[in-house]
Amino acid sequence: MTTNVARTCTVNYLRFGWRIATPVIEIHKTMPQEVSVSYQAIKSKVYRLIDTLVVGDKSEVEVQESIRRWWELIHPADRPIAQKYLLIVLARSCQALDAIEEGLTDATNHEEAKASDSSSAKAFKLAARVVKQAAKHTALSNSV
């Protein structure tokens, strides 16, 4: 008799806990993921994407899609500061790539290797365009 009461209490306790926990789990599934817009977080995101491109884990298209998805996760109120930090990081990254390119050109004395429109400038323009397109897409989806 005592065993049946204990078993019934255990079953009711588990059932009771399940009813409370289930709505909390469902809330977490539907809540959007928060993305940090600190300078350090954005710099880390950009450098990770650059690394995946350099290593060959992702193509340019995959990196573009990755940055678009990341941009969608940023709260609209945080996007202006995120865009500011992103453009600062991209500009500094381009400066670093240009410095590396110039240093290599100077070291190897191959002036003809330096292109008039460097690849780092192209990368910066591409990234700026992706940010602008993502902002336009988000603005359009929010207005509909």
**pTM (2 decimals)?**
0.56
| Contacting residues for 34 by C-beta, under 8 A, at least 6 apart | 73, 75
Query: Are residues 82 and 133 both part of a single domain?
Result: yes
- Asked if 53 contacts 102 with a C-beta cutoff of 8 angstroms, the reply is no
Query: Are residues 63 and 110 both part of a single domain?
Result: yes
Structural domain of 18:
1-31
pLDDT, tens digit (0-9, with 9 covering 90-100), for 40-57: 999 999 999 999 999 999
Cα distances (Å, whole numbers) of residue 74 to 9, 27, 44, 134 = 46, 19, 15, 11
Number of domains the chain contains: 2
Query: Are residues 55 and 4 both part of a single domain?
Result: no
Query: Are residues 17 and 71 both part of a single domain?
Result: no
Query: Are residues 39 and 100 both part of a single domain?
Result: yes
pLDDT, tens digit (0-9, with 9 covering 90-100), for 59-117: 999 999 999 999 999 999 999 999 999 999 999 999 998 899 889 888 887 655 555 55
Query: Are residues 23 and 63 both part of a single domain?
Result: no
